[in-house]
Chain A
Amino acid sequence: MVTSLLSTDDLRQARVLLEASGLQFETPYDDLVGIFEAGRMVAVGARQGRILKMLAVATSHQGGTLLDEVVTELVGRGYQEGVDSFFVFTSPALAPNFEALNFNLLAASGKTALLEYGDGLKRYLARYTRQIHPGNNGAIVANCNPFTLGHRYLVEQAAAAVDQLFLFVVREERSLFPFGARMRMVQDGTADLANVTVVDTSWYAVSSITFPTYFLKDGDPGGAIQMELDLLLFAQRIAPHFQVRTRFVGNEPLCGTTAAYNEAMHRILPPLGVEVREIERKNADQQPISASRVRDMLLRGELEGIAELVPLSTLDFLLSSEGIKIWVKGETK
């Protein structure tokens, strides 16, 4: 029977079992469960948001149904909590064990494989099928926190070079401006460009699943692998569906994580058929325009200069009562 692991002894046994399997006990988690046999833990698993992790079965008990039982319990409980899509990172060698449980392989690099339970990616792609037209199409993936004249310039340059440009707005809610607000700023700021289609990245690009370290201040060593999975997923699954041949990106003189991501893009995407075109950033006052510069000014209350960094549509939003609420709240954080 699968039970919640709560006591100190439960946690100690979980740690021992994980370490014996070459894994680590990683906090935080939302749910931690295990299976005991004669007082000894023989299987363990945890869920953190949409990610299933710390999955291990004692070597003496492998080949049975213990992994199925643990994953069933975690998925069932997670679904009750409102999570309807689940992901697991594992070694490529173990990926078939999860595929047998109806997980779908999303991407695999040398050391890590990312799998999803259910057909979320397929359903996500199907949502946009009608908006895709064959041709020389391009893509930009951006957070737009908020949408600036720098984004606008990148979008204009890219749109002029292709038949249709897909502007993927990062869905993940880890930014000052919520997804809904960012989406509206992007739509309003690009409404006059006929060949630009604004879409949502869902969990499948630059999310806490594919690229968690993007949202941390400083990169960590795990970030490099996840960056790779994020780009593999883009090149192998997303770009072919949207018929995208070129991914456009602004050059990154400021942020280390983004600069490393750009570099990985040049390395990973072209061999998989997606050309990468880096576009020189637009400057204002000899400094590149960036969303973080706009946020800094908002938080310092320097509202006058912002008009030179963002389109009118963004400025209108920032100065609306809804917009003010967002950045004033951010200020007190």
Chain B
Amino acid sequence: MKIVKKAQAGTMQSSDLMVFLEPADTLKVTIESTVLKQFGELIRAKVDEVLQKHGVEAAEVRITDRGALDYAIEARLETAIMRATEG
């Protein structure tokens, strides 16, 4: 899927995350998290998996996480992708 516009999903609450998506020429992912040291790689793996599942090959993805679980990451990122692609 092609990212055609800016979109955001999620909240700043504990156990949640904010996802910011915008169009770009390449895929750039930055992750900030209160648990980056412990779980940074797992978050990144989950994000890559969701992006791949939806065929997102080019976008700027910014994530600020407050200890969200896997399925929350997936749900928020998918919502942002829907919002960034729908006409």
Most buried by A among B6, B22, B64: B64
Q: Which residues of B contact A102 (CB under 8 A)?
A: 12, 18, 32-34, 64-66
Flag B4-26 by CB within 8 Å of A: 1 or 0 each: 00101001111000101010000
**What is the CB-to-nearest-CB distance from A33 to chain B, in angstroms, rounded to a whole number?**
14
The reply to whether B62 and A72 contact each other, CB–CB distance below 8 Å, is: no
A219 within 8 A of B: no
Flag B41-75 by CB within 8 Å of A: 1 or 0 each: 00000000000000000000010111000000000
Q: Which residues of A contact B18 (CB under 8 A)?
A: 72, 75-76, 102
Flag A38-76 by CB within 8 Å of B: 1 or 0 each: 000000000000000000000000000100110110011
Q: Number of contacting residues on B, CB 8 A?
A: 17
A117 within 8 A of B: yes
Q: Which residues of B contact A65 (CB under 8 A)?
A: 13-14
Q: Report A98-123 residues with CB < 8 Å from chain B CB.
A: 100-102, 117-119, 123
Q: Which residues of B contact A280 (CB under 8 A)?
A: none
- Which residue in chain B gives the minimum CB-CB distance to A100? B34
- Residue from the list B14, B20, B33, B34 in contact with A68, Cβ < 8 A: B14
**What is the CB-to-nearest-CB distance from A221 to chain B, in angstroms, rounded to a whole number?**
33
The reply to whether B32 and A119 contact each other, CB–CB distance below 8 Å, is: yes
Please report the C-alpha to C-alpha distance between residue A76 and residue B62 in the assembled complex, in whole angstroms. Answer: 13
- Which residue in chain A gives the minimum CB-CB distance to B6? A79
Knowing A68-B11, A102-B64, the reply to whether A84 touches B34 (Cβ < 8 A) is no
Knowing A72-B13, A118-B32, the reply to whether A80 touches B8 (Cβ < 8 A) is yes
B85 within 8 A of A: no
- Residue from the list B8, B14, B65 in contact with A76, Cβ < 8 A: B8
Please report the C-alpha to C-alpha distance between residue A218 and residue B8 in the assembled complex, in whole angstroms. Answer: 40
Interface residues on A, range: 10 to 19
**What is the CB-to-nearest-CB distance from A289 to chain B, in angstroms, rounded to a whole number?**
43
Q: Which residues of B contact A76 (CB under 8 A)?
A: 8, 18
**What is the CB-to-nearest-CB distance from A106 to chain B, in angstroms, rounded to a whole number?**
14
Q: Which residues of A contact B22 (CB under 8 A)?
A: 84
- Which residue in chain B gives the minimum CB-CB distance to A123? B30
Q: Which residues of B contact A117 (CB under 8 A)?
A: 64
Q: Which residues of B contact A69 (CB under 8 A)?
A: 11-13
- Which residue in chain B gives the minimum CB-CB distance to A101? B12
**What is the CB-to-nearest-CB distance from A13 to chain B, in angstroms, rounded to a whole number?**
23
**What is the CB-to-nearest-CB distance from B3 to chain A, in angstroms, rounded to a whole number?**
15
The reply to whether A118 and B64 contact each other, CB–CB distance below 8 Å, is: yes
Please report the C-alpha to C-alpha distance between residue A127 and residue B32 in the assembled complex, in whole angstroms. Answer: 18
Q: 4 closest Cβ contacts across the A-B interface?
A: A102-B64, A72-B12, A72-B11, A68-B12
Q: Which residues of A contact B (CB under 8 A)?
A: 65, 68-69, 71-72, 75-76, 79-80, 82, 84, 100-102, 117-119, 123
Jot down 12 A-B pairs with beta carbons below 8 A, ordered by A.
A65-B13, A68-B13, A68-B14, A69-B12, A72-B12, A72-B13, A79-B20, A84-B22, A101-B12, A102-B12, A117-B64, A119-B30
- Given pairs A65-B13, A119-B30, 8 additional interface contacts (CB within 8 A): A69-B12, A76-B18, A79-B6, A84-B6, A84-B20, A84-B22, A102-B12, A119-B32
